[in-house]
Chains A and B, each alone.
Chain A
Amino acid sequence: MSAEAPVPVVVENVSYVYRTDVSDRQVLDDVSMQIAPGEIVILTGPSGSGKTTLITLIGALRAVQSGSVQVLGREILNAGERDRCRVRQQVGYIFQHHNLLDSLTVAQNVMMSLQLSQQKLSRKEQRQRVIEVLERVGLGEHVDKHPRALSGGQNQRAGIARALVTHPRLILADEPTASLDKESGRNVVDLIQELCREQGTSVALVTHDNRILDVADNIMHLEDGKIQTVSEAMATHSSRMLKLLNKHDPGAAQYLSAFALALTRVAMADSGIDDAERTMIRTVLNDSSKLSPGEVDLVMELALSQLRCRQQDGDGGSAVFSADQAQHFLDSLYAVAAADGEVSPEERVEIQNIARELGFPVDSGRL
């Protein structure tokens, strides 16, 4: 993709209201976002957060009410049926359910998309292109079967082939893994990622499946019609999850926390954790504790998250935090310490230790 290529998707100040006879419901509230060429953006959020609405607006499947949506250089706000039709033709859309036509074979379904393309291909070339893309998604043996004869995962892959056969510059996928089991879902997402990387296609993918977030270059979290920062979204989500764990299985929560604390302490002792140590810890956790792989991941992440700031400081020598941030940080710590009336000497010492470990300038005036 050349540098001059226009940004495939530019959304500016878009709001959207569902109007019914009895009430209006605002599903998008002044949303702005962009998708860069070749970028894979995942839109997450709880159901009702407006993510599907946003992607259908980008795909011109829904009329824009206010704000501006430019897709592949075309403004969709107030666009006529003909222009919206043109946009739909240029965008590859992967649906939640495969939405293949039951009466057509898999190859015919893919053909339905290809014959809309502006590219002039002979019949032979068309057929070849259809076979190629179906082989690419692993359906080479099923080209002339009907969708009903295939599994959900196979149909979803046929849906991907249909979206990709025209080599679009933008793929929109609305919960493509929603109706699939874990493994097929993973395969489908990997396939989307792989094919789009090959063709330099931009992707917007809506999901609430956390297991597939790692394919994203950029994650946008929608909450009540507004886009949140990733950290905000993750923090809310993680703390909610930890609270839930604590509430429903306090024993496990305690056990995992203890592990995390212990690991942190050991690793902090020599102010760093290298790959050898990391592998060793993981092996030990895997072999000797009765933790499941997911729980091992959590313990590691909890421990490492506490280490990260120190490690960076130790590696580069340059301060991670600005003076202002450091000052604000210390003020907060003192505020906490002072919450029970006055700052005790033990608390004062602990704050000093933390400040030293994080490389903050120690505020002698407060000592």
Chain B
Amino acid sequence: MRLAPYKIAWLQISHQKLRLLAAVLGVSFAVVLVFVQLGFQQALYDSSVRWHTALGYDLALISPKTTYIVNPPGFPRNRLYQALGFPGVESVTPVYIGIGNWRNPDDPVKVRNIYVMGFDPSAAGFRLAGDPNQVQKLRLPDRVLFDRFSRAEFGAVARQFEAGEPVSTEINDRDVTVVGLFELGTSFGIDGSIITSDLNFRRIFPDRQPSRIELGLIHLQPGADLQATREQISSTIPGDVRVLTRDEFVQHEVDYWSNSTPIGYVFGLGVAMGLAVGVIVVYQILFSDVQDHLREYATLKAMGYSNFFLSRVVLNEAVMLALIGFVPGILLSLLVYAQATEATNLPVEMTVERAVLVMVLTIVMCAGSGLLALRKLRSADPAEVF
């Protein structure tokens, strides 16, 4: 029946059930707050690089003036073909990018901007567009593939298509037919997307020159040295293009959102606020808990228990509260994530790293608050507390 610190801690926090419930809810609230902010922040960055990660390539070629992928300036297609001449380069894929006016097939009065990507259907790099048969259909004129995760404002295209109904509408006042679906999703800059062939792209955007592309994809031969090839290409071809690896290309986009737009700042602030509010909530809970038991702890000290023993009791309490509060916290967060994903089509997902991070944060917050609250007793003579 030895009463070790963990046992006393458990008896202390479990003695009053309502108080325990309140404390656990408080910790859960803090956990949800942090999870939601982190989730949205990550969703922003994940969604903004959907294309960067879905496309198949080893090196990407963009204009140095490119700020983000939604509306990049063009550069000469020849630069991409020049890259083809370097050792280690297996193939290249020119990509055309534009913003078209999509007329809602269900409600033709409504017109929305849609993200259009055009490429040579025979080229590699478009595994995301589905099976090769589907891609081959793009060889016919005015045929497009539609992103089924596009926002609902573009019309119930996916549902109609899957029901076997032909879906036709206008892009930039030109009739097109949807011949397939692919899965990508929306981002803060893109509400919906379609993929088509390079020829169809020029039919939709008649003023575009085939010699100017917005994005170049370079595929290396297996075993080729990525960095060396990148160095070679960028040092040899003229400076009106930039060569980026996949990671650099992703980072380039993330940097844009986090540094050059208020959105990144707002979500960074959100995470900071979430953490701050979480710390305050948890501190309040632990502090008032220790405060209410201060007399009892002073009694233990008066009986001859050391500060070390008392600290261990409070630390145990803190960790227990953190762990108990974390469980409903993460479950609630998963619910919120599912809701948010459903409502926005943004990739709000729980990752193991984030779960571990928030759990460690919660424990640290709880333990720190507990020890801070105990500081008064550590330094005081027991007689001064009674």
Where the two chains meet, the residues of A that have a C-beta atom closer than 8 Å to any C-beta of B are 56, 59, 61-63, 81-82, 85-90, 93, 95-96, 99, 101-104, 107-108, 111-113, 115-116, 123, 126-127, 162
Contact = CB atoms under 8 A, between A and B. Distances in A.
A87 B383 CA distance: 15
21 contacts: A59-B383, A62-B381, A62-B383, A62-B384, A63-B381, A85-B306, A87-B304, A88-B301, A88-B304, A93-B303, A96-B386, A99-B296, A101-B8, A102-B15, A103-B16, A107-B1, A111-B2, A111-B3, A115-B3, A123-B2, A127-B1
B56 interface: no
Nearest to A93: B302
B299 A89 contact: no
Given A56-B383, A62-B384, A104-B11, A116 B305 contact: yes
A228 B386 CA distance: 27
B97 to A, nearest CB: 66
Given A103-B11, A123-B2, A113 B303 contact: yes
Nearest to B384: A62
B14 to A, nearest CB: 8
Interface of B: 1-3, 8, 11-12, 14-16, 295-296, 299-307, 381-384, 386
Contacts of B1: 107-108, 111, 123, 126-127
Closest 8 CB pairs of A and B: A89-B304, A103-B15, A88-B304, A61-B383, A56-B383, A99-B299, A62-B383, A103-B11
Contacts of A126: 1
A112 B304 contact: no
A81 B306 CA distance: 8
B303 A89 contact: yes
Nearest to A90: B304
Nearest to A104: B11
B15 to A, nearest CB: 3
Contacts of B300: 101, 112
A90 B304 CA distance: 8
Contacts of B2: 111, 115, 123
Contacts of A113: 303
A86 B304 contact: yes
B3 A112 contact: yes
Contacts of B382: 61
B307 to A, nearest CB: 7
Contacts of B295: 99
Nearest to A127: B1
Nearest to A126: B1
B304 A101 contact: no
Nearest to B296: A101
A162 B302 CA distance: 12
Contacts of B384: 62
Nearest to A163: B303
A95 B299 contact: yes
Chain B facing A: main interface SS: helix
Chain A facing B: main interface SS: helix
Contacts of A103: 11-12, 14-16
Nearest to A61: B383
A298 to B, nearest CB: 37
Contacts of A107: 1
A159 to B, nearest CB: 10
A56 B380 CA distance: 13
A127 B300 CA distance: 20
A88 B3 contact: no
Contact of A104 (B8, B304, B383): B8
A321 B296 CA distance: 55
Given A99-B295, A99-B299, A102-B296, A85 B304 contact: yes
A131 to B, nearest CB: 11
Nearest to B4: A115
- Tell which of B2, B295, B383 has the most Cβ of chain A within 10 Å: B383
Given A61-B382, A112-B3, 6 more contacts: A62-B381, A85-B304, A85-B306, A88-B302, A99-B295, A104-B3
Contacts of A104: 3, 8, 11
B89 to A, nearest CB: 72
A155 to B, nearest CB: 13
Contacts of B381: 56, 61-63
A142 B307 CA distance: 31
A127 B2 CA distance: 10
A59 B306 contact: no
Contacts of B383: 56, 59, 61-62
- Tell which of B16, B303, B386 has the most Cβ of chain A within 10 Å: B303
Contacts of B301: 88
A102 B14 CA distance: 11
A240 to B, nearest CB: 30
Contacts of A87: 304
Nearest to A55: B383
Nearest to B297: A101
A108 B1 CA distance: 8
Nearest to B382: A61
B17 to A, nearest CB: 11
A113 B306 CA distance: 13
B342 to A, nearest CB: 44
A279 B377 CA distance: 58
B313 to A, nearest CB: 11
Nearest to A148: B15
- Tell which of A103, A115, A126, A127 has the most Cβ of chain B within 10 Å: A103
- Tell which of B300, B304, B384 has the most Cβ of chain A within 10 Å: B304
Nearest to A172: B302
Contacts of A162: 303
Given A126-B1, A127-B1, A112 B11 contact: no
Nearest to B292: A102
A112 B303 CA distance: 9
Contacts of A112: 3, 300, 303
Contacts of B12: 101, 103
A95 B301 CA distance: 13
A53 to B, nearest CB: 8
A82 B309 CA distance: 13
Contacts of A90: 304
Contacts of B14: 103
Contacts of B302: 59, 61, 88, 93, 95
Nearest to A116: B304
A81 B386 contact: no
Contacts of A95: 299, 302, 386
A130 to B, nearest CB: 8
Contacts of B299: 95, 99, 101
A112 B1 CA distance: 10
